[in-house]
Amino acid sequence: EKFVPDHVKEYSYHDGPLPIGEDQTISQPYIVAEMVEALELTKDDIVLEIGTGSGYEAAILSRIAKHVYTVERIPSLADKAKTILDELGYKNISIKVGDGTLGWPDGDKKFAGIIVSAGAPSIPDSYESQLEVGGYLVIPVGSRSLQNLYKVRKNKNGKLEKQSLGHVRFVPLLGKQAW
């Protein structure tokens, strides 16, 4: 309930998306769980989250992985998430405001997992280049109104192998390599 606005706190344990401001939503808890599980993370992994939102998913990821890098395009949401995560004592999360379609473009970071909380028309090239061999990308891909949730593994040859996890509806991924 710390991750949702006061006017929807009474629904914070409801299994559905909730508004968090700026025309954005916190994802349905079931979908968050399915996406996080699909990453197959370990305690030594470094993960990239696209779409920080309220910070809820980053908090969950930080309990599993060694470090979470998260990108949010809306400064006010990034600021709120940082405040909440700091208040709750999370130390292994780095938040950046920027174009999430570019991933984490600082340096040559490779991630064991990349999780995208917005629907894309296709998989941005930056995600493929920033995903380590053997790593997983979980991303909704399709139209602005309906997407297929994919679990994508980068095989030893550097090729992406996609597995559909079903249909979902996410806000659109906005940026240079998406809408």
Distances (CA, A) of 51 to 44, 134, 161: 22, 23, 23
Query: For the whole model, what pTM was predicted?
Result: 0.95
Q: What is the structure's pLDDT at 105?
A: 86
Domain 14-168 class? Answer: alpha beta
Distances (CA, A) of 46 to 31, 93, 110, 168: 21, 10, 8, 26
Tens of pLDDT, residue by residue over 5-25, are 889 999 988 899 898 989 888
Strands (E), 34-159: 46-50, 67-72, 93-97, 111-116, 131-142, 147-154
Q: What is the structure's pLDDT at 117?
A: 97
117 is catalytic: no
- Take residue 171 and report the two structure tokens written for it: 């806000």
Instruction: Domain ranges for the chain, please list them.
Output: 14-168
Sequence-ordered alpha helix ranges (H) in the chain: 29-38, 56-64, 75-87, 125-130
Tens of pLDDT, residue by residue over 65-104, are 999 999 999 999 999 999 999 999 999 999 999 999 999 9
Q: Which of 12, 27, 126, 164 is catalytic?
A: 27
Matching residue, tokens 């700091």: 86
